[in-house]
Structure formats: structure tokens, C-alpha cells
Structure 1
Amino acid sequence: MPKQTGRQNNEDSTDKLQGPSFDEIKEVAFQNVGSMLKDLQAFEQAIQNEDIAEIYRIYKGKLHEELKKTSNKNHEIDELLAQKIHDSFTQAFPFIHHEQKISPTMNYYRLGDYYRERATIGIDASTPEIFVLPNIDKEWREFAPGKRDALNKIEKEMDELDANIITAESEISNIDEQIKEIENEKTSVENTKGLFNRNKTEEEIEDLDNKLQALAEKREGWLPYIEDKSKTNKKREELMKNHHDMRLKQAVVTKEFRLIQQYFGSLKAMNQQIQDFLTAYLGSAKGGNHA
């Protein structure tokens, strides 16, 4: 096999590296770096001007990932965004107060001041998003003024428990009488069993046994109400506690709806005003300049 010369090796290597020229590569790199610098300068200018809409547009959009990490290494951008929307939000709604900081970008707020203060609204500055907390939204749906479904259900359970305790003794007495009658009937049938009516008699006995089994199961269901007082008392206590907790929740929700009515007019109006605030906040030249 002929031995390749050094010149041939160089030619082969040159062939393998064929592609964009160095000048072309340099031009693309220059443009990329220039674009990154331009984005960084625009980002710095947006921060300097407190142009919230522009900060979100650049930071959440085209800013290079490494620049994002560097600029937000210690949550500086997160804190800035959270503080700006907090200032604007509490300026627009002075009756809504900060309750708890969950993370650099997540904060919870309470509606007004009342005897059971709790967070009801969350702001996620990273998105940004303003929302009713999921557990609060669930309670508002369940215990809104005029809604008694949950209370009615537990009150019905309490009434049924009391009724069962009262009627258990008479029900068991009645069942015992039926069992006694069927057992007597079964004894009578067994005594009349003969060679020629054996099949019919066995069918009758099986039918009576089924009735006895059904009555025994029914009796078993009533027994706890008179034999295991501790169990029924515990059940009653659980129902009473649940009822008390529900009434308390309903009282809190009722108070919150009164505040919503006072400050916004209605829950629907509150949601709309908060959405309008967020739209204006993101559309403004500078965050925080609107009430």
C-alpha cells in the first residue's frame, strides 16, 4: 500500500474542516455577543427606569440563561419584582395587607382586619399572577352566604344518630319478637316433615333460615346504639365538633364576604378589579405609578 505524504495528510485534514470560513464564524459570534450585550443593556435600563413590563419581557423572554442566573444569583430580580408589585398592589388596594412571605417571589395577603386574620390572596411575582388561595376559594364556594349544604348534611347526620339511639331499643325488641315467631314456625315445620313432603319442607326451612339471617343482621346493626354507648357518644362528639368547625368557617367566610362587599361590591367585581390592576400594572411604563 502506498505511503501517504505529509502534504496528502494536510489536504485530507483541510477537507474535513471545510465549512464556514473563520471570518464568517467571527461575524456570527460578534453578532451573538453584540445581541447579548444589547439585551443586557436594555435589561439594565429597564431596571434603572423601573419599567416593570420591559423587565418581564426581557427577563422572561430573550435574556441569555447565564445572564439570568448572574443577575438573579441572590434573588435580586425576584425581590425587585416582588417589592414593586407589592407596592403597587397595596397602593391600589390599601385595605389588603401583607400576611406572609412564602418565597422570594410568592407572598400572601389578607383582606382587611378582622378577629380571625388569615391570608386569602396570593401574589406570584415571577409570572406575575394574583389569585385567591385554593383552600380559601374552596371555602368561599362551600360557605358563601346563603349556602348551607355542608351544615345541612352534618345536621342531618346528627339528627339521624339521635333518632337511632332513641329508636334502637324498640327496634331490637320488635326484631326479637319476629325472630321468636319465625323460630316457632321453623320448629313447627320441622315437626311435620315426612317422607313424601321432605323437599317442600326443606325449602320452607331454608326460606325461614334466610329470614332469620336477615333479622339477625338487622339486629346487629341496631345493637351498638344501646350496647356500646362510648362508640355512639364518640360519634356524636365528632359530629358536634365538625358542626362547630363548619359554623366557625361559615362565620369567617361571611365576614370576608362582607369585606368584599364593602370594598369591591361583589366577589365578581373583586376578581375583575384585580385583573384590571394586573393588566394596567404590566401595561404601564413604570410599575407602581397607578392607584
Structure 2
Amino acid sequence: METPEKQEELQTETSFDSVKESASDVLGGLMGQIKRLEEAMKLEHMGDVYQIYWNELPASIQQSSNANHEIDNFLTSKLDQEIQRTFPFMIMCDVVSPILMNYQIGSYYRERAVLQVDATQPTIKILPEIRDQWEKVMKGEYKEQLSELENQQDDFDAKTIAAQSELRELNGKIAHQEKLKAELEETKSFMNRKKIEEEIEVIDDKLRELKQQRSQWTPFVGDQLSGESQKIELANRIASLSLEQAIALKELRLIKKRFGGLEEMDAALEIFIKDFLNKGAE
């Protein structure tokens, strides 16, 4: 008959054997996943690469296998190769991070990034601020904004010219009333004092009214430096908006030439990602 100590020893050995067997199964499965990942990378079966790396490997193995961006570099290089093959007119212009790349859609004046590729997803998308500008062109919003700014510019110039004319006339009237007031002050005596003061009061009322009118026109010509600054600011806004519109128009013409339109471009980019993930699939 086995002693309690012997029974505990046998149970411990059995438990340890079970742990070893379980660990062996886990390690075997993990080694199998790593081997499948290596094979998929070698054969460039991109859908399998993404599936195994992101959905099957433990986070710790993902991190250790990508410690020096080995996986990132593999994914971005394969994406770039496929982009160059499918869209040879696209040019990578900026590496934002190991997994983000920006592209322009051709070589033209004022080239800029319009697309961003994220290798971890993977996705290829139009930058939001660029899409906003393209939509503004298509909706005619640039024309509306430029027309409004040009109207402000014309209105500012017109008010400046009108103010100069109005101020000359008002200053003449004010000078005339002040001269009349001065003459009445000189003729005022004890005998006609009340009558003269009544006439001066009438003149003072006219002067207040004229000076109030002058104060409404003075801001348009009173501060010449401020006026010039406003004109320069308006001109700069018009120039900046015109350039932004011109670049967006040029890009839309390129999209029309290469894809047929913006909607067609969106569809082509979606198809590109699907084809990329199906690359090498049987």
C-alpha cells in the first residue's frame, strides 16, 4: 500500500508531465505560426502575413519580432513596390513614421502630399485637408470666397475714396461754422448778448452734427498705416486662396486624367488594397 507521501509524489510528477506536455503544445503551435509567417513573407502572400502577424501571434512575439521595425520595413517596402507597379505616376514624398508614408499623385508645380499609406492596416487614403480642398473646388466654394474677398477689397477702396471726399466737404463746413461763431463772439455786447448767444447755440448744434458725421468717415482715412495693413491683409488672403484653388484644380485634372474622377480614384484605391492582400493567394 502506497503511503500518502508516495501518492503526493506521484501526483506531482503527473501534474508536471501535464504542464510539460501543455507547454510543449503551446511552443509547438507558436513555432508553427512563426514558420508560417516566415514562409508567407518569403512567398509574399501578403494577406497571410497580416493575418498571422496581427491576429495569431501573441503581442509579446509581435513586439520582439518587430523590435527594430523589421516587420514594419517589410510591409512598407512591399506596399511601396506594389504602388509603384500599379500607380507609376505616384511619388513617395515623405516618410512620416516606420509605418506611414505620404505620396503625391504626379510631378507638378507646388507638389505636395495628397495620399497617406498606413502599412499596419493596410490603408491608402486621401489626406482629409486635401479632400476638403478638392470638394471646395467641385462645389464652387473657392469662387464664392474669392468673390466675397474681392468685393470687400473694392468696397474698402470705394469707402476710402468716398471718405476723403466727404471729409474735405465736412471740414469745409466745420471751418465755415467756426468762422461764423468767432465773428459772433466778437460782436457780442451787453445789449445784444442774448440774441448772439442764441445764434451761437444754433451754430454749436450744427458743429456737433458735422463733427459726428466726420467721426463716421475718419476711420477709413484717419489711420493710414492701419488702412494699408487691412488692404495688404485682404490682398494676401486673396492670393493665398487663389493659389490653393489653382493647386487643387491641377490635382483634380490629374485625377481626371489618371482615374476618370474622384469617385473612380476612391474605388481604385480600395481595389488596390484588396489586390495587395490577395497577392500570392492561391
Identity value in percent: 31
Q: CA deviation at 1:146?
A: 4.2
1:121 to 112, 115, 124: 115
In 2, the alpha carbon distance for the partners of 1:220 and 1:22 equals 97
2:100 to 81, 103, 106: 106
> 2:158 matched to 1:168?
no
Equivalent in the alignment of 1:195: none
In 2, the alpha carbon distance for the partners of 1:260 and 1:101 equals 23
Listed one character per residue, the Cα deviations across residues 58-88 of structure 1 (whole Å, up to 9, x for unaligned) are 1111212222122212111111100111111
Asked if structure 1 preserves the Cα contact closer than 8 Å seen for 2:117 and 2:124, the reply is yes
> Secondary structure at 2:88's aligned position in 1?
coil
Listed one character per residue, the Cα deviations across residues 17-75 of structure 1 (whole Å, up to 9, x for unaligned) are 99x93333333322222221121111111111111111111111121222212221211
32-41 vs 166-175, which moves further: 166-175
Q: State the one-letter code of the partner of 1:235.
A: Q
Query: Would the alpha carbon gap of residues 55 and 224 (structure 1) be closer, same or farther in structure 2, given more than 3 Å must change?
Result: same
Asked if structure 2 preserves the Cα contact closer than 8 Å seen for 1:101 and 1:107, the reply is yes
Equivalent in the alignment of 2:193: none
Equivalent in the alignment of 2:64: 70
2:237 to 227, 242, 247: 242
Listed one character per residue, the Cα deviations across residues 86-143 of structure 1 (whole Å, up to 9, x for unaligned) are 1111111111122122222111111111122221111111111101122322221223
Q: CA deviation at 1:172?
A: 6.2
Query: Would the alpha carbon gap of residues 169 and 284 (structure 1) be closer, same or farther in structure 2, given more than 3 Å must change?
Result: same
Structure 1 residue runs of 5 or longer lacking an equivalent are 1-9, 181-190, 192-207, 287-291
Question: How many residues of Structure 1 are paired with residues of Structure 2 in the alignment?
Answer: 241
Equivalent in the alignment of 1:233: 228
> 2:264 matched to 1:269?
yes
RMSD over equivalenced CA pairs, Å: 3.2
> 2:22 matched to 1:49?
no
> 2:94 matched to 1:93?
no
Task: Trace 1:216-231 onto structure 2 (pairs within 5 A).
Answer: 220=215, 222-231=217-226
In 1, the alpha carbon distance for the partners of 2:218 and 2:29 equals 82
Query: Would the alpha carbon gap of residues 272 and 175 (structure 1) be closer, same or farther in structure 2, given more than 3 Å must change?
Result: farther
Structure 2 residue runs of 5 or longer lacking an equivalent are 178-197, 199-204
Equivalent in the alignment of 1:205: none
Normalized against structure 2, the TM-score is what? Answer: 0.74
Listed one character per residue, the Cα deviations across residues 209-261 of structure 1 (whole Å, up to 9, x for unaligned) are xxx89x95x86554221110111111101111111111111111111111111
Q: State the one-letter code of the partner of 1:26.
A: K
Name the structure where helix makes up a greater proportion of residues.
Answer: 2
Query: Would the alpha carbon gap of residues 105 and 77 (structure 1) be closer, same or farther in structure 2, given more than 3 Å must change?
Result: same
In 1, the alpha carbon distance for the partners of 2:235 and 2:160 equals 16
Normalized against structure 1, the TM-score is what? Answer: 0.72
Equivalent in the alignment of 1:278: 273
Q: State the one-letter code of the partner of 1:67.
A: I
2:77 to 61, 73, 83: 83
